[in-house]
Amino acid sequence: MSYTGPGFEPSPPRRFPPRRPLTVALTALVPGALLGWGVYAAVGGPDDGGGGTDRTAASASASPSPRSPQSPSPRRSSGADGKQPSGAPGAAGPLKGKVVVVDPGHNPANFRHPTEINRKVDIGTNWKECDTTGTATNDGHTEAEFTLDVAHRLRTLLQEQGATVKLTQDGDRDWGPCVDERARIGNEAHADAAISIHADGSEAGNRGFHVIMPGAVHQGAADTRNIVDPSHDLGVRVAGNFARATGSPPANYLGEGTGLVTRTDLGGLNLSTVPKVFLECGNMRDSKDAALLTSGAWRQQAAQGISEGIVSFLRG
């Protein structure tokens, strides 16, 4: 997913001095990562338990990209294989009674429905397209397939912790849902936490992950004032645990080296009434990041890091 919008200018990367000896364990797990002090401190250190981007809108001439060989079929499990369907309660565990909504960005079939996904919807601050096709690697691995794969892995991990997990889409829709409906799904589920999974489509050389958190918005149908603080807490915990689990550094092209960005022009955040963040797992248009994003082993690490961040947030 690529982000541009009013009032948003990517911040130049900023170097930070090496951590003191106390943080050697974290450094060893995240080689080369330049985590900002805010992220590190908020997740409690190693002992915690737990730009010029292009947003591709669909067009009538758009064509599908081949599916990543590591990606499972996007069709929803019927339960015959023993897997729990989306929304099923998890096993007994520390998150028993908690509801998490996982939003896999885009839809693998969006490219077939340009009229529907280009329709404008009200996001409070302005009107934006219902959805987009997302981006892809230079080799044709699509963001939509990536997000669905990571969402499936994350769902399994969270259900093992006892959470009830609901996906906004599971490859079972012809297109969408629109960004306003994605927010509404989390709201109506009374989610204790919600996360939207994406991958960026920035320029080559721009590397790393970043977490997008809602800014304070009170306009039209949008009112994020009650979720800004808990969403920030969620974002910080996801960022720290994601970095540790994957070894990926925070983005070097925005967020000033913290991996944290605040936005007020994204419908999925503006219209949410529950704590919610977006996670850009890496840049699909950079060859080094793309090699990670298309690796099944790395995707499992990504899901593990996201899960640990959510568990940390929900357990306080």
pLDDT at 43 over 60: no
pLDDT tens figures, 162-173? 999 999 999 999
Q: pLDDT value at position 16?
A: 39
pLDDT tens figures, 222-238? 999 999 999 999 999 99
Q: CA–CA distance from 213 to each of 191, 217, 239 (Å)?
A: 16, 12, 11
List of residues 6+ apart from 288 with CB closer than 8 A = 207
Average pLDDT over residues 33-53: 36
Average pLDDT over residues 162-185: 97
pLDDT at 209 over 60: yes
Beta strands in 145-301 (DSSP E): 164-167, 193-200, 210-214, 218-219, 222-223, 260-263, 276-283
pLDDT tens figures, 240-284? 999 999 999 999 999 999 999 999 999 999 999 999 999 999 999
- What's the chain's average pLDDT? 81
The CATH number for 21-60+84-315, chosen from 3.40.190.10, 3.40.50.720, 3.40.630.40, 3.30.360.10, is 3.40.630.40
Closest CA to 307 of 134, 105, 145, 90: 90
Q: pLDDT value at position 1?
A: 65
Judge whether 134 and 105 are in contact, CB under 8 Å: yes
Q: pLDDT value at position 31?
A: 40
Distance CA 217, CA 280 (A): 22
Q: 212 φ, ψ to 5°?
A: -105, 125
Q: pLDDT value at position 222?
A: 97
Residue spans per domain, the chain:
21-60+84-315
Q: Does the predicted TM-score (pTM) go above 0.85? A: no
Q: pLDDT value at position 86?
A: 58
DSSP labels, 112-158: G-HHHHHSEEE-SSSEEES-----B-TT--BHHHHHHHHHHHHHHHH
Mark 250-288 as b/e (b = at least 16 C-beta within 10 Å).
bbbbbbbbbbbbbbbbbbbbbbbbbbbbbbbbbbbbbee
pLDDT at 73 over 80: no
